[in-house]
Structure 1
Amino acid sequence: MSDDLFSKARSAMRKCHAPYSRFPVGAALRTEDGRIYAGCNVEVVSFPEGWCAETTAIAHMVMDGGGVIAEIAVVAEKLRACSPCGGCRQRIAEFARPDTRVFLCDAAEGVVETVLMEDLLPKAFPTEAVR
């Protein structure tokens, strides 16, 4: 992972709207053709109707015409290595390959751990079954 992906994720984290949890999260993904999309978490008072950072980044990618996620970085202000929630794991799997790298980052240090999508979400719902 290049520093630009982590930098974009950290920058997105700083723009989050998390007045209820006070748990800022940012994500940035790179598609196989090199485009980068970032997102932050956006909370609303009627839980769970907000958006996770990964969801926002994926939505930006989809709005720009889609793509396949080659790698994604996730960073949270209050965790050393923030892993995507269960729902986001399935969302990422929808647009990724089993060998897509997921970088779990510390806001100050950068990448703490790298996992493959197939390890992060074994037995994901198969997207080919619904296409």
Structure 2
Amino acid sequence: MSVETDLPRMIELARDARTRSYSPYSKFKVGACVRGASGELYPGANVENAAYPHGSCAETSALDKMANAGERRLSAIVVIGGGDALVTPCGGCRQRIREFGDPTTPIIICGEDGTIRARFTLDELLPHSFGPDHLA
């Protein structure tokens, strides 16, 4: 299967994960779904903490699941958030995506209803990035 074939399911999983967001402080729910290179799908949601720096983003949650399943490469990520503005990965998540992706990795941004609002490559969101290949 391809990323495009899996995209409807990725959106569904990200929307479902968003409903389980633990965001009692900001009330800002985010869901994500990562597609590993194997084609396996890994959803995640943001998890806040009263000690603010110790929460985790939805993208991080999904990437953690992928890594814990033994995968080391991702082929795409979907991010779903609410509001009128695009909910793109934060800077830290962009770097985490770079760890497992490459400059061409697609990042699909959806509204809370699952409508695709934008598509980017990682290189468009994190140009001139530093990644594992720099340490080889």
Identical residues among aligned pairs (%): 35
Instruction: Measure how far apart 1:81 and its partner are.
Output: 2.6
Q: Which residue of 1 aligns with 2:120?
A: 115
Q: Normalized per residue, which structure has more strand?
A: 1
**1:37 counterpart = 2:35:** no
Q: Which runs of 5+ in 1 are unaligned?
A: none
Match for residue 23 of structure 2 among 18, 24, 28: 18
Q: TM-score, normalised by structure 1?
A: 0.94
Say if 1:54 and 1:88, in contact at 8 Å, map to a contact too.
yes
In structure 1, how many angstroms separate the alpha carbons of the residues matched to 2:20 and 2:84? 17
Q: Which AA in structure 2 matches 1:6? A: I
Match for residue 32 of structure 2 among 18, 21, 27: 27
Post-superposition, which runs of at least 4 consecutive aligned residues in structure 1 deviate over 3 A?
Answer: none
Instruction: Measure how far apart 1:77 and its partner are.
Output: 2.5
CA deviations 1:35-92 (Å, max 9, x no partner) are 1001000000001110000000000001100231111000013345310000000000
Q: TM-score, normalised by structure 2?
A: 0.91
Instruction: Measure how far apart 1:32 and its partner are.
Output: 1.9
Q: Normalized per residue, which structure has more helix?
A: 2
Say if 1:27 and 1:53, in contact at 8 Å, map to a contact too.
yes
In structure 1, how many angstroms separate the alpha carbons of the residues matched to 2:114 and 2:102? 27
